[in-house]
Structure 1
Amino acid sequence: MSKIYIIHENSEWTIHLTKRLEELGLPFEEWHLDEGLLNLGQEPPEGIFYSRMSASSHTRGHRFAPEYTTQVLAWLEGHGRKVFNGSRPLELEISKVKQYLELNKHGVKTPQTIAAVGTAQILDAAREFDGKPFITKHNRAGKGLGVQLFYSVEALKEYVEGPDFEEPVDGITLIQEYIQSPESYITRCEFVGGKFVYAVKVDTSEGFELCPADACQIGDLFCPVGEEVEEKPKFQVIEGFSDPILEKYEKVLQANNIHVAGIEFIRNADGEIFTYDINTNTNYNSDAEAKAGKYGMLELAKFLGEKLKQEELKLG
């Protein structure tokens, strides 16, 4: 019997999808790929495959999960299996450099960014910003890893030469112009099946490391899912969101065979949009969705169910 196979390394981020699949009565199986064996002489099972592999897996003790998943996806694709968010999406998931190059190729503006390896090179990159504020971040990130705001090269020097410096897992630090939003929020656009589902407004006034998942602890910061300041929720679905940027985003997704993603942007004081992240392991905020009556995981489960049905018809 054909199934939906879910490839991932974090059950806490996947349970919301499996619950929806159960509600719809769809057969599925989880492949938790933090470890495994891959026999190249065997054929994969029949069915469809959906990858939720995350760039931040190393923060959960799964250092080589993306590398192993890369091999598994190549095996599946080599045998002609239908894979959603396969090899190319994972390639972008673990490299912001590649994300920005791809966004720029399709006319999407990104912040000025320099990639650096080595302490001296990080400081040299910061000098290119001519005294303007800048941020550092990890090339292979997720959860806002390594995001720090600096107003001077001297402050950066103290950080990178001190004990608190976070070494990126791939060794590549990004130095990026700081785009300040006058209202301290970013916008995240969610896509399922390559099509826009909804946009969510995310309050950034308490810091950079924000994750919409219901289970998401980052250092001493807690993603305040289910907790709200009375006047203003942290995550809020934007009713009737529409912008020409959505058409460009859909073209980026189509060109890279990305079926499911959350794309984040920020507006500067002049209203210009700067896009800075494509997250192919997207999560959703349950409180914000309940208030809006829109459910990303339900849409994803329906999408996978329809694709499984199509695959079964093809197989006869």
Structure 2
Amino acid sequence: MTVYVLHENPTWFGPFAEALEAEGLAWEDWHLDGGSLNLDAPPPEGVFWSRMSASAATRGHDRAIAHTRTVLDWLEAHGRRVVNGRRALELEVSKAAQHVALRAAGIATPRSAAIAGEDPDDVARSAADVPAPLVVKPNRGGTGWGVVTFDDHESLASAAAAGELPASPDGVRLVQEYVTAPRPLITRVELVGGRLLYAVDVDTSEGFELCPADACRADGSSLFTLRHEVDPALVARYEAFAAQHAIEVVAFEYVETADGRLLTYDVNTNTNYNGDVERVAPRSGPREVARLLRTVSDVRDPVPAAQPSPH
């Protein structure tokens, strides 16, 4: 049965294409930055894997997320098997939604406020209950794009009044407490099929642009190292969260504070894997994803009706 890959960034897809082919899977690329969709026709038979990214707009693909919503609604209405479906997409594209869902699941997060619009007074009022230092980020961002820090509420208010806060494609920003860690690193926990793949530590001393894909580090440097131990209780919470929200391929990012708290701040449902880590990891991320897709494929492999792809 064919695997259909829904995404908007071919640059990130190379390792997955190699893994799909190594596992002997037939697959087709659906690039969803544009195109048309016949809503009266059924989708082809197959397994559909959504890799739509919250950072699509930073690559000029402003329409991709809205189009993917429609495609996923169409697929799910027809009962097609979707890996990382509509609920996963909505968490991917909203850090506020991630925060609310994580809190509801009993997973500790940094104190946060969501701010819609451009009114500086709204920014100051919303941020008042968030302790300084502060970080402001787009609600729909990704790869560290648009993240800025402020030492105090006054400097944040001044930046808001001057119109200097980062924009967000959906018009919403998040203000969070900037967590002080004993070392400049965060930890990224990768799950495939709802279970732990491995964890990595990420060096944050250069800033917040922490995309793990090799294509994101043009200078060949790497900020990622394999982490050999991660709190099993936290992993269990992540696995339960993934099951609750039907997310089968996901990465959670957390920071350990100076007083030992583990605060989760990101849920990434279009996760990429770092080449340096992959070379020493006990299992390959792309290969495990390909094996997951093979497992969920219908072994009966019916002959699909000819249907145009929505791109």
| Structure-2-length-normalised TM-score | 0.92
Aligned to 1:281: 270
Residue-by-residue CA offset, 1:240-264 (whole Å, 9 max, x unaligned): 4342101111111111110000100
Aligned to 1:15: 14
Aligned to 2:49: 50
Q: Secondary structure at the match of 1:252?
A: helix
Aligned to 2:31: 32
Aligned to 2:306: none
Matches within 5 A, 1:1-316: 2-117=1-116, 118=118, 119-129=120-130, 132-162=132-162, 164-216=164-216, 223=217, 226-228=220-222, 234-308=223-297, 311-313=298-300
Q: Secondary structure at the match of 1:265?
A: strand
Q: Secondary structure at the match of 2:280?
A: helix
Runs of 4 or more consecutive aligned structure 1 residues displaced over 3 Å after TM superposition: 161-165, 223-226, 313-316
Aligned to 1:219: none
Q: Please say if residues 13 and 213 of structure 1, whose CA atoms lie closer than 8 Å, have aligned partners that are also in contact.
A: yes
Q: Please say if residues 135 and 176 of structure 2, whose CA atoms lie closer than 8 Å, have aligned partners that are also in contact.
A: yes
Distance (Å, rounded) in 2 between the aligned partners of 1:213 and 1:194: 21
Distance (Å, rounded) in 1 between the aligned partners of 2:160 and 2:136: 10
Measured at CA, do residues 260 and 225 of structure 1 come closer, stay the same or move farther in structure 2, by a change above 3 Å? Answer: farther
Q: Please say if residues 226 and 287 of structure 1, whose CA atoms lie closer than 8 Å, have aligned partners that are also in contact.
A: no
- State the 1:125 CA deviation: 2.1
Measured at CA, do residues 159 and 192 of structure 1 come closer, stay the same or move farther in structure 2, by a change above 3 Å? Answer: same
Q: Secondary structure at the match of 1:191?
A: strand
Measured at CA, do residues 129 and 73 of structure 1 come closer, stay the same or move farther in structure 2, by a change above 3 Å? Answer: closer
- State the 1:158 CA deviation: 3.3
Aligned to 2:309: none
User: 5+ residue gaps in structure 1?
Assistant: 217-222, 229-233
Distance (Å, rounded) in 2 between the aligned partners of 1:159 and 1:149: 11
Distance (Å, rounded) in 1 between the aligned partners of 2:219 and 2:242: 28
Distance (Å, rounded) in 2 between the aligned partners of 1:162 and 1:199: 40
Task: Kindly provide the amino acid, as one letter, of the partner of residue 50 in structure 1.
Answer: W
- State the 1:13 CA deviation: 1.1
Q: Please say if residues 33 and 68 of structure 1, whose CA atoms lie closer than 8 Å, have aligned partners that are also in contact.
A: yes
Q: Secondary structure at the match of 1:292?
A: coil
Distance (Å, rounded) in 2 between the aligned partners of 1:136 and 1:96: 12
Distance (Å, rounded) in 2 between the aligned partners of 1:315 and 1:254: 28
Q: Highest relative contact order (Cα 8 Å, sep 6+), 1 or 2?
A: 2
- State the 1:152 CA deviation: 1.8
Q: Please say if residues 214 and 225 of structure 1, whose CA atoms lie closer than 8 Å, have aligned partners that are also in contact.
A: no
Identity of aligned residues (%): 43
Q: Please say if residues 147 and 166 of structure 2, whose CA atoms lie closer than 8 Å, have aligned partners that are also in contact.
A: no
Distance (Å, rounded) in 1 between the aligned partners of 2:86 and 2:156: 35
- State the 1:3 CA deviation: 0.1
Q: What do you get for the CA RMSD once the two structures are aligned? A: 1.7
- State the 1:237 CA deviation: 0.9
Q: Please say if residues 94 and 140 of structure 1, whose CA atoms lie closer than 8 Å, have aligned partners that are also in contact.
A: yes
Q: Please say if residues 5 and 29 of structure 1, whose CA atoms lie closer than 8 Å, have aligned partners that are also in contact.
A: yes
Q: Please say if residues 225 and 287 of structure 1, whose CA atoms lie closer than 8 Å, have aligned partners that are also in contact.
A: no
Q: Please say if residues 212 and 225 of structure 1, whose CA atoms lie closer than 8 Å, have aligned partners that are also in contact.
A: no
User: 5+ residue gaps in structure 2?
Assistant: 304-311
Q: Secondary structure at the match of 2:49?
A: strand
- State the 1:100 CA deviation: 1.2
Distance (Å, rounded) in 2 between the aligned partners of 1:274 and 1:195: 20
Task: Kindly provide the amino acid, as one letter, of the partner of residue 122 in structure 2.
Answer: Q
11-20 or 236-245, which moves further after superposition? 236-245
Q: Please say if residues 112 and 130 of structure 2, whose CA atoms lie closer than 8 Å, have aligned partners that are also in contact.
A: no
| Structure-1-length-normalised TM-score | 0.91
Distance (Å, rounded) in 1 between the aligned partners of 2:57 and 2:179: 28
Aligned to 1:220: none
Distance (Å, rounded) in 2 between the aligned partners of 1:122 and 1:35: 34
Distance (Å, rounded) in 2 between the aligned partners of 1:40 and 1:136: 39
